[in-house]
Every structure is written in C-alpha cells, then in structure tokens.
Structure 1
Amino acid sequence: MCNLAVLSQLLFFARAGGGGSSSGGGGGVVLFGIPMVIAISVSGFVKRATQSKMAAIAVGFLAGLLASLFYLLGGVVIFTLVAISALVGAIIGAFTDKISRFRKGSEAAQQAVRQAAAQDSAWNEQGIVNYATTVFNRFQYDWEWMDLPSIQQYVTPNYARHIGLMLYALQQMGRVNRMKNVAISEAIITRAYDDANDQNDCVSVSFVASANDELVDAASGAVLHRDTGEFGEQWNFVRSGDGWLLDSIDQETEDTAQLVASMQQFAAQYDMYFSPDWGRLLLPTRGELFKGGFKGTDINNHIIGFWTGNLLVQLYTYVADASNTDSATTYIIGQVNLPKSYGGILVERRDSRFLKRFRAPSGYKKVELEWGDFNKRYQVYATDENQVTSFELLNPSFMAWLYDQDIKVNIEVVDNIVYLYAKISTGEMRYGEMMDILQKSHKELKM
C-alpha cells in the first residue's frame, strides 16, 4: 500500500527544490514540479472517470513521463529523477479523493435512483445531476452577489433562513465572498432515498470542483484570504412536487454525522442554525483575541441566529495560533452584535493563567472600577475609559455570577461586537454552558 505521508513529503521536496542555494532551489521547482503536477492532474482525472487506481497511476505516470522527455537533455540522472517525481505524482493523484467520505454510498445510491426512475421521471439520474450542477453554479453567483431572493427560488425555506443569516453576518463584517472561475471536475449521486410519499424523497449529489475563492473587504476591495485549491462537497436535495430543492451542503472536511445531528438539534432548541465548518468567512480579525488574523486557523461548529431586538448571536469554536501545536489554544466563543459601539474593552479574569498581562495592550489603558471585589477578580483595559461605565455587563451582580460559573469566561468588546470566550480542551464541547451565559448576558444588555 502506498504511504501517502511519505509521498506528501516527496511532493513538498519537489516543490521546494530540495534545498541548496537560492538559485538552485528555483531550479528544483522546474526540475521536479512540472511532470509531477501533470501526473497528479491526469491521474486524478482518470481515477474519477474509471474509479480504478491502477489505471489512474498508469495513465498519470505515462503523461508525466512524456512531459519528462525534455529532461533527457540534462542527462540520464536528471531524467530518472524527474521520471520518479512523475510516478510519485501519479500515485498521489490516484489516492487523493476530495469526496471519499461521500463516495462510499454512491453505488447503492445510483442503483436506488435507477429503480425509482422506472416509476417516476423526477428520478432520472442524468436529469438530477444536470439540475444539481445548474444549482451549484447558480449558487456561486448568487452567493457572491448576496442575492437572497434568487437563492430562495431553489432552496428550502429553512435553508434560505440559514443562508440569509450568513449573508447578513458577512454584510455586518463588510465582507464579500467572490467565487470566480468555478470549474466542476466531477458530479455524482452519492445518496438517495425514495419514499412511498414523494415529499419524503431526498437525493444528494457530490461535487469535486475548484475556484478562485476570495474573501474581500467590501470597502477597500482588499483580498483578505484566497483559496484556489480543489474542494469536495455534498449537496443535499429534497423533493418538492416534481422537482427538487437544495436543503443543505456538507463539506468533505466536516466532523462525524453524529456530532452534526446533535449540534443541529441543540441549535434548533434556540431557533438557531448549525454549520460544522464555515472556514474563514466569518473569522474576526480585529481585537486582541483575534489579532492572529487568518494565520492557520478558522472557526468551526458554528451556531447563528437572531434574538430579541434583532441581535445577531453566534456561538463557535476557535483555535488561536493553530499552526503551532505547542502554543495552540482552543476557545469557545459567544458573540453578540449590538446596535451601539463601546470602543475597545477587555475584561479578563485574574486567575486565567493563559491571559497574564504585564501591561495594557497597545491603544488601551488599565481601568480600575469602584468595586473592590471586582478589581480583585478581574482586570479591565479600555480604549476609552468613559465607555466602560456605560457597558451594561460590567455590573457587580452579573460579573460575580459570571465569575462563579464552572467555565471561566472573559469578555472582549470591539466597537459594537461583544465576545464572551473561554479556553477549552481540544475536542471539548461546552455549548450548553456558554449558551446559558449568552442568554443571561442578553438580559443584562437590555436590548
């Protein structure tokens, strides 16, 4: 069996040039990179078309080998090294599958579709794939332009509400998600259920695609983050009359179905919506907590909804400094968007060892409040001392209650956004506790 970890290291070596002088490193990219990239691409295409790893490796290697012939001019040794890189690329392409988690049920699903199509034209296999492909492409355009009325025409009402919340959150952050050069390389049916009652029918189509995916600051046009890599998604449709409506989208990178189901149920209790992975779309980049920006991290297990007074409320996990396994810290965060601004405020527990500060952050001043017990338990920093006294959460009874909770919560305010956050262990889920704190905070804010 192929050791993909070793192959990945070889691929990295080929891209990096394997060391040496600065000029030699660039030559390494040319030497190894081109045939390997060709082999990976061709091998992946053949694998998707034939579902045969051996055929993919053979054809991918042949394509890479043909691209390597030019390197004979450099001698047999160089040609041999390049040919080996082509073989490595062919193997990587054959064993890389962006929808492997979804593909497991594809054969049974396609058989179910063919059986259902014999009695019901809505189950025509090619018709379903074509329709799903149309929806896939149209959604990319509508999402970029934040055209919710258009999206509502081909998604379920429940999913439209969830999408509307996400678009509103993006607007509140002044961001646009541009999707350009969208290209689908594979679309297959991976799940199907034909019920005696047509309204219970459902079908899923999985896509392997690529795009120039840009997160953009709407005001300045600056690109905050760009991803041009290939991705895999499963698009889930439910029956609506003689047609289908999009009901959800699953990411290949998501956690187990059991976790998703339990979190969806938890969110629904509060009339909110759950997504396992929204990546960096809604990742804050302002304030002390998020000052690391997009560096090697994103937000996951995301819950979103409106509460009384049209307050946008979110709950999610965030890993700070995820690129460094030694210093990475996982937080659970409750976020509330308020209709007024308080500038910058930090309220940190003195017993939080991971938050020990020896001086105020840049642009902040340390603030002492008039309650002795409070000052013993918390340290407060603010960009404007006058704003601290008007912040409703900073009252003795609420802060004493907050301090006594099992989960050690700190507070940061960035203009009109309040973050209540606590350090948690990796894999730990303390959503119930944080939701209770959010609800209590909501009452204190009197919005």
Structure 2
Amino acid sequence: MRLTILGGGGFRVPLVYQALLDDHAEGRVSHVTLHDLDPARLAAIGRVLAAQADGVPDAPVVTTTTDLDEALRGADFVFSAIRVHGLEGRTIDERVALAEGVLGQETVGAGGIAYGLRTVPVALDIASRIARLAPHAWVINFTNPAGLVTEAMSRELGDRVIGICDSPSGLGKRVARALGVVPSRAQLDYAGLNHLGWLRRVLVDGVDRLPELLADETALATFEEGKLFGTDWLRALGAIPNEYLHYYYFNREAVTAARAATQTRGTFLLEQQRRFYADVASCDTPALAAWHATRLERETTYMAENREAAGAGDRESGDLESGGYEQIALALMRAIAQDQRATLILNVRNRRTIEHLDADAIVEVPCLVGSSGARPVAIDALPDHATALVASVKAVERAVIEAAVTGSRGAALRALSVHPLVDSVAVARRLLDAYQEQLPQLSYLR
C-alpha cells in the first residue's frame, strides 16, 4: 500500500512511521510519501525517519515532495495533518482571544473558530484534488479542528474521509487502568463531537464497570480526568468527559490560568519546534534522540494551564502515553485494506446515531470498520445537558463551513457570536476584526 502524509514535515510524523515499521503483516504500507510546503522541515523529519528505519530490512520506502499533486497520485491512503499558517497562526489565535478575555485554544472557542476559518478553504481544495487525482483513496483526517475539517471534506469525498483523534482512546486507556483492566478488554460507550464527548459506559465481559469506578474515590483520583474535573463533578455527570470539556465546565478558571501564564501553549510549541528543527538541520545532531527529548517535553507540559487551574499537579507517567493516534490510523487502514474488522472511535457521518443531529453531521462515536469503510454503531441517547452543548457547537461548525464556502463575513461573525464560550456579539465582532487584521488567510471574508 502507498500512504501519503500531508503535513509530512510535522513533528508527529515519526509516530506514524514507527507504527508502520512495527507492522510486518501482509498488505502493509510499503511506501510513504511526505508532502509539506517547507522543504527544510521535510529534510529534518526525513533524518528522524531514516534513523528510525536504520537496521529494519523491510522499512517502508520514504520519498518527499513539495508538489501536492505529485504526492496524491497513486495513493491508497492519504493522511492529512496540515497546519495552515503554522504555529505562528496558533499564537495569533491565542493572543487575540485572550486579549478579549475569552479562550484561545486551537480547537475550542474563538481560537478554534479562527483556525477553522483559515483551514477549511485549504482542506476543501485538498479534497477536490484527491477526488480528481486519487478517487479511490481513503482520507484519514487528523487536521484540527478535526470534526469540523472532516465534515467540510466530506462534502467532496463523502464517507471516504474519516476523522481520527487520540483523545477518546487515551481516556479509555486511563479509565481501564484505573479499573485494573487490560485496555483491549474494555468496550467504550463514547459519544459526542471531536473534543466534546463523554464516556458513558465501560463494558468488560458485558458488565458496565463505570459505576464501580465512579463510586471509588481513590481509583477515580488516580488518572488525569479525575484530577482535572474533580471526583464530585464526575459523579454528578455520571460519565467521564473528554479532557477538552474542562474548557467548558471550568471556563473562567481556564481563561484566568491562560492569561496568567508567562506564554501561551502555541508560543511554547513555536519556540520549542524552532529549536528542534534548527538542531536537526545540523548533521552533528542525533536526529532521533533530539526528537524523543522534544516529544517528552511536549507531552509533560500538555494542558499544563488546565492542570494548574484544577490543582491537579504534574502529569503521571501513565498519562504521558498518548492515545495512540498513529495506532488508530494503522488499525483503520488495515481494517479497510484487508477487511480486518475493528471497532474504533472515529469521526464519521452521523446517519441516525445521535438522534438530534442530521445524517451528514460529523460525530465522534464507536464505529465498525471493514472494507466498505466505517459505520457508526447504535448508541443510547445523550443526556439533555450534552445534547444542548453538542447542538450549539455543531451550529458553530456549520457556520464556519458556510463562511469558508461562501466568503460570508456574516457567517463567520455568527460562528463566533453563538459559541458558548464567547459571551457577546460585540466581543465576537472585535475578535473577527482582529483576526482578519492579523491573519491574511482570512482576507476572503467579506
């Protein structure tokens, strides 16, 4: 199989390549094409991948290109992990929002909307090119905001684009460990939108073990979400929320902590990655060792402001393990290409899964995957509080897509104004003015 990675100079690409190196099954990926607009970043990541492949006789061949059409031709799978305007854009998203006293996180609130507004037009162009140049390819989208971008691309690609995220699987692993259960034995009942979902049941041999966990104060406080949200709130919900819901449930505290921080998350990552790519450009730097050290620092500081606001302390070693988005991508590709049936939590068209959303809405739910793609499984209805929040945020996503497709500044203003974390139309108008002034990619909005 041939895999193309868009955003191939991105820092997380070695995670995907390592998963491919570890896969020796029949029908495995044999060729990887990395596409990026920045040849220096491609060269740096190419050095890391070469070090990973050293001594592996059947390592997938890696080629690099800055030509998008060349990258797409002949691809069986396209993995999209682009970042329009890079981390520089993320820092603008954050600063503009925090200056108005609202959240600037890259996938949630005003920052997520700004990111979506400049990403969706690019994603739509990519989708159109894939439909023309690689019509039989399956697209795995990791580009944030993942649910929003997947929904936009699905208008061109239909069910052949599937969004992935490692947050639900990471949550499932942590909960399973707290229960003393091997994660592979736990069947997760999880539902919502990307970065806006709830774990409602954890079935082990057909028995829901979540009530047991919620009743165990000690066990509940051993993993990240228990510390972040507080055990009393988790019991009140009767569910374990995705970590990103901390921005909604504790918005004042999250914004206060972000404004008090010496630098935003985007600024930290921008400075960190500038150092990394500059170091790896030197042939004297062991590329793989530099990548591992940088990744550890990155994971250790993940959501540090939220943990500070919650008094949750430093991350535990078990929490540093990612949800394994690269393993999700590999399992998804294998299930489709080899018809090896799998159940994965994915971002797919709703059909009738979440009853108050229409069939084309992209939702994040457990899916059965095989050669025909991913199909959501039937789930219980969301509780009222979750239904309201999902409907509100989905309306925002739809307004962002409308703005990107039509160039309507009014739709962009509506997206900002009706978001639950933006509390004023006047604030939304100032946010949009500032984003357009500082982000040339938004000049299309009229």
TM-score (norm 2): 0.24
Structure number with the higher strand fraction is 1
- Structure index of larger Rg: 1
Report which of the two has the higher share of helix.
2
Q: TM-score, normalised by structure 1?
A: 0.24
Considering Cα pairs closer than 8 Å and 6+ residues apart, tell me whether 1 or 2 has the greater RCO: 2
